[in-house]
Amino acid sequence: MATTTRDFYDVLGVPRNADAKQIQRTYRKLARQFHPDVNKDPAAEERFKEISEAYDVLSDPDARRRYDAFGPDFRRVPEGVDPDTWARAQRGPQPGTSRGAADGFEDIRFGGDVDIDDLLSGIFGRRGRRGWGTVRGADQETEIEVSVEEAYHGGRRKLSISGPEGPRTVEVTIPAGVTDGQRIRLAGQGGQGSGGAAAGDLYLVVRLAPHPQYRVEGRNIYVDAPLTPWEAALGTSVAVDTPGGEAKVKVPSGTSCGRRLRLRGRGLPNPRGEPGDLYAEAKILVPKRLSADERRLFEELATASTFDPRSRR
C-alpha cells in the first residue's frame, strides 16, 4: 500500500473540518475517477492508492484524531504523548542551545525554557536525567488475507505472527465491512516494551483475496448476471448470489451485455456510514447447440428484425 507524505486532507481535497459524509462523498467520486480498472493512465493506480490511504485514516475517528494531533508521525507516536511535547521534540535544538559532554543531553535547552528531560519523559514515559528507563514497545505491521465473505460478515480467527520475539499466535476479530488496505489495530500485540513499559500495537493490513464470483471495488461488489437473449430483450427478474444471500434483480427490457444493475446497500457494510452497493453485470449467453425449433425461431427473428448493433445511429 502506498504511504504518502502529502497531507491527507489535501489528497482528498477536503477542508480539515469536513464531516464524515463529505469525506465519504469525495472519496467515492475520486475512487471512480482514478480506479485502475477505469482509468488507464499509468499514474492512476498510485493516485488511487494515495486516495484510499487518506480515506482509511480520515474515515476512522480514532486514526483521524491522532493524525490531526501528530501529522505524518501519527502511527509511530506512543499512546498518551502530548502533541505539543512531541512537536517540540521533533523541531530539535534551537540556535543558542548548549550540549554538555557527559551524555549528550545534559542541560540542553529548547528556546531557552524547555528542558530535554521534560521532552523525553513526555515521549518515553520516564523521569530522571540518565538512562532510557521504560520505553514503550514498537508498533508492528503485517498483512492478513481476508475472503469477501469474511469482509462482509466479519469473523474471528487465529493468526501466526513472526517477529523479533519469535513466532506467536494472536486472535483477531475481523469487523464486518473491512476493505482492502484497511488496518486492524490489535492494542498491546506489537513489540515488547522495556523496563516494564507497555507493548506496542500490531496493525493488520487487510488484503481481500481474489474471489471466483465477486469483484470488490471499495465497498461496492460486482457479480455477473447471466441472461438469455430473450430475457435481455424482453426484460425479466433473476436471482443473483450475494455475500448476504440470494437477491432478486429486475432486468429492464432492452438490456445489453455489460449493463450494471444496482442493488442499493447490498455491498460491503460500513460501520461508520452508508454501505456499498452490489452491481449485477448483464452477461448475455446463447446456447452452444441449437435445437431445430430454436434455430427456426432465431432465423425468423433474423429475417423480421431491423436492429443493427453495428449501426452508429
How does the average pLDDT of the chain come out, rounded?
Answer: 81
CA dist 76 → 81, 102, 251 (Å): 11, 29, 51
Task: Answer yes or no: are the C-beta atoms of 251 and 235 closer than 8 Å.
Answer: yes
**Domains (range + CATH), the chain:** 83-124 (no CATH), 136-210 (2.60.260.20), 219-304 (2.60.260.20)
Position 119 scores a pLDDT of: 46
CA angle, residues 9, 119, 138, in degrees to nearest 5 = 65
**Three-class secondary structure of residue 206 per DSSP:** strand
CA pair distance 181, 200, nearest whole angstrom: 21
Q: Which range has the worst mean pLDDT, 66-70, 245-249, 274-278?
A: 66-70
Taking the CA atoms of the chain, what radius of gyration do you get in angstroms?
Answer: 28
Position 236 scores a pLDDT of: 96
**Three-class secondary structure of residue 280 per DSSP:** strand
**Three-class secondary structure of residue 304 per DSSP:** helix
Kindly state the percentage of the chain with pLDDT values over 90. Answer: 41
With CA atoms as reference, report the closest residue to 214 among 163, 263, 161.
Answer: 263
List pLDDT tens digits, range 4-47: 568 999 999 999 999 988 998 898 888 888 887 778 887 888 88
For residue 90, pLDDT over 80 is answered with no
- Residue 30 parent element (H or E): helix 20-34
Position 123 scores a pLDDT of: 45
With CA atoms as reference, report the closest residue to 194 among 237, 165, 229, 224.
Answer: 165
Position 98 scores a pLDDT of: 46
List pLDDT tens digits, range 174-204: 999 999 988 899 888 887 777 777 888 888 9
Cell 437477491 sits at which residue? 247
